[in-house]
Amino acid sequence: MARRPDLQSGPERLAALVRSSIPPMHSAGLPFVGASLAVALLGRKRRWMRRAGLISAGANAAFFRHPPRVPPTRPGVVVAPADGLICLLGEATPPAELGLPDIPMQRVSIFLSVLDAHVQRAPIGGEVVAVRHRPGRFHSAELEAASEDNERNSVVIRTPEGVHIIAVQIAGLIARRIVCDVHVGDKLSIGDTYGLIRYGSRLDTYFPADARVLVSHGQRTLAGETVLAELA
């Protein structure tokens, strides 16, 4: 049984505060942090090498942070799949490799800088019905051309009501590695973590044209919490 907060000792309260203030790290970051700490250990007699290793370990731990999020509970909402800045709003056709009808959908694009948390979360709950990866270029991710030209990975989620929502991970100028941990047939709840991109990237979210968009250009988003739109 957990002890009541008012009965915890000073060290216990401090530990609880640290756990609530410092987010955990995604498992994909463990090799990078481990390698950095190994450099620091090997350079324990060389100050510059030890310092470089520790700085690298801290930077990687911060980049791969996996902060807890509480998604909204009201039905029919589409949440942001990523932390970042909304860089594009409007209608666009979904990626051609998905084989979907060539009908414009609403699209919200979120640009992730190297300072943002880079885990991706499901924009809505449902079944994964398609996962498609397409090689491409590595333009700066905030450009319009990135949606067409850059390397990307698309995930289509079908809600229990039969609505298709598409989340597209797009590599950027620095980001050269897209990680997607879901497969066709997987069931996701809104806000579930399903992948990440390193380092600096973009997420495009497509939803039906009759949905009501609730965000604006330049707005910052929190993955799994910020509501992008309400479905009709």
Annotate 25-79 with DSSP letters as a single string.
B-GGGHHHHHHHHHHHHHTTT-HHHHHHHHHHHHHHHHHTB--------STTEEE
- At residue 223, the pLDDT reads 92
- At residue 53, the pLDDT reads 73
Pairing relationship of beta strands 152-158 and 164-171 according to DSSP bridges: antiparallel
- How many domains does the chain fold into? 2
Which of 63, 90, 107 finishes a domain? 63
For the chain, which residues score pLDDT lower than 70?
1-23, 25-33, 57-64, 66, 138-147, 173-176, 199-200
My answer on whether 87 and 14 are in the same domain is no
pTM: 0.78
- At residue 197, the pLDDT reads 83
**How would you classify residue 76: left for phi > 0, otherwise alpha for psi between -120 and 50, otherwise beta?**
left
Pairing relationship of beta strands 84-92 and 105-112 according to DSSP bridges: antiparallel
Cβ-based burial of 83 (10 A; exposed 0-12, middle 13-18, buried ≥19): buried
My answer on whether 133 and 23 are in the same domain is no
In a domain, 72, yes or no: no
- At residue 20, the pLDDT reads 53
Indicate which residue of 36, 147, 154, 201 is catalytic: 201
- At residue 68, the pLDDT reads 82
> What distance in Å separates the CA atoms of residue 103 and residue 111, rounded to the nearest whole number?
24
My answer on whether 86 and 56 are in the same domain is no
My answer on whether 153 and 194 are in the same domain is yes
My answer on whether 131 and 169 are in the same domain is yes
Catalytic residue list contains 201: yes
Which of 35, 63, 91 finishes a domain? 63
In a domain, 68, yes or no: no
Cα 98 to Cα 60, 103, 114, 166, 216, distances in angstroms = 33, 13, 29, 10, 27
Range of the domain at 42: 5-63
Kindly state the tokens that stand for 221: 């988003």
**224: CATH:** 2.70.70.10
My answer on whether 10 and 94 are in the same domain is no
My answer on whether 126 and 196 are in the same domain is yes
> What distance in Å separates the CA atoms of residue 105 and residue 176, rounded to the nearest whole number?
27
> What distance in Å separates the CA atoms of residue 166 and residue 122, rounded to the nearest whole number?
10
